[in-house]
Structure formats: structure tokens, C-alpha cells
């Protein structure tokens, strides 16, 4: 009777009051299991159709690795906070824009909120060929 342990209590009670034929019970349990699977997959679909919620939680991110910013161009919405994550071992970098500037460092993160729509170019001041852009959409 292992399947009983996995069924909700309500389902078990219903089964016991309504029937006594074990085959019928098993069929109903199978049907219940099918419904639960459907419900679970419906939930999964709902989650994946709302990526904006996950983005709100985690925020847009730029990795600093291999002497480059990745992605080189990142598009965000006005009001988004971008997080740069240092992932280049012991190589030090910074994030230098017109109105945002991180420390020179080799680990950790830097965050800046972009309130105004526009195109914001920035570089690493230690490696001027490390150029990248934040595009802030409306
Ligand atoms: Cu650099």
C-alpha cells in the first residue's frame, strides 16, 4: 500500500468511504495521480511564462571574465539595477562609465541602477579594449 502514503489524506478518506473494491481504488488513485501531474505541469508552465518575476529577483547581470564584459551589450528596462560580477581570477578590473564607477577589484560585485533610458557605454580603465554598453529601454 505504498501509494497510499503518497496520496493526500483527503483522497485516502474519499477512497475508503466510497468504495471497497481495491481495483476501483487503484484506478481512482491513478486518475488522481494523473490530475496531480497535470496540475504540476500547469504550474510549471505558469512559472516559465513569467520570466519578468525572476528577473526582478535576480536582476540583469554582467560577468567580467576573460578580459571582457559579458554580455558586451546588455539591454535592461529603466529602473533596473545591473550587477557586475567579477569572475576573472586574480586579474583586476573596474567598471567605468560617465556616471557610474566601481572600485578596481578582482572579486565581488558592483551594482548600479539605470533610471534614464539611453545608451551607456563603459570601459575597464585598466584595459581600455574592454568596452561594453548598457542599453536602457523605456
Ligand atoms: Cu580590466
Interval 60-79: pLDDT, tens: 999 999 999 999 999 999 99
Query: What's the gap in Å between 101 CA and the centre of ligand 1?
Result: 13
74-120 tens-digit pLDDT: 999 999 999 999 999 999 999 999 999 999 999 999 999 999 999 99
Q: Are 121 and 131 in contact (CB under 8 A)?
A: yes
Q: State whether residue 108 is helix, strand or coil.
A: strand
Give me the chain's average pLDDT, please. Answer: 75
- 101 and 64 in a common domain: yes
Residue where a domain stops, chosen among 49, 66, 85: 49
Parallel, antiparallel or unpaired: strands 118-124 and 96-97? antiparallel
**Residues making up the chain, counted from first to last:** 138
Query: What's the gap in Å between 112 CA and the centre of ligand 1?
Result: 18
Q: Are 114 and 136 in contact (CB under 8 A)?
A: yes
- Average pLDDT on 25-47 reads 44
Query: What's the gap in Å between 37 CA and the centre of ligand 1?
Result: 49
Domain range spanning residue 29? 2-49
117/125 Cα distance (integer angstroms) = 24
Residue among 60, 75, 62 nearest 102 (CA): 62
Query: What's the gap in Å between 55 CA and the centre of ligand 1?
Result: 27
Q: Where are the alpha helices (DSSP H) in the chain?
A: 2-6, 9-18, 22-48, 51-58
- 100 and 78 in a common domain: yes
CB atoms under 10 Å from CB of 93, counted, come to 24
Query: What's the gap in Å between 83 CA and the centre of ligand 1?
Result: 16
Query: What's the gap in Å between 103 CA and the centre of ligand 1?
Result: 11
- 97 and 31 in a common domain: no
Q: What is the CATH number of the domain that holds 79?
A: 2.60.40.420
Amino acid at each position: 500500500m505504498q501509494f497510499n502514503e503518497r496520496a493526500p489524506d483527503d483522497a485516502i478518506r474519499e477512497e475508503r468511504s466510497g468504495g471497497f473494491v481495491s481495483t476501483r481504488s487503484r484506478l481512482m488513485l491513478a486518475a488522481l495521480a494523473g490530475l496531480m501531474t497535470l496540475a504540476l505541469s500547469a504550474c510549471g508552465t505558469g512559472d516559465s511564462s513569467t520570466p519578468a518575476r525572476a528577473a526582478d529577483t535576480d536582476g540583469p547581470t554582467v560577468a567580467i571574465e576573460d578580459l571582457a564584459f559579458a554580455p558586451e551589450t546588455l539591454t535592461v528596462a529603466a529602473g533596473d539595477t545591473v550587477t557586475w560580477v567579477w569572475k576573472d581570477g586574480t586579474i583586476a578590473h573596474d567598471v567605468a562609465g560617465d556616471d557610474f564607477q566601481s572600485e578596481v577589484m578582482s572579486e565581488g560585485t558592483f551594482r548600479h541602477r539605470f533610471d534614464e533610458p539611453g545608451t551607456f557605454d563603459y570601459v575597464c580603465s585598466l584595459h581600455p579594449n574592454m568596452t561594453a554598453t548598457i542599453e536602457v529601454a523605456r
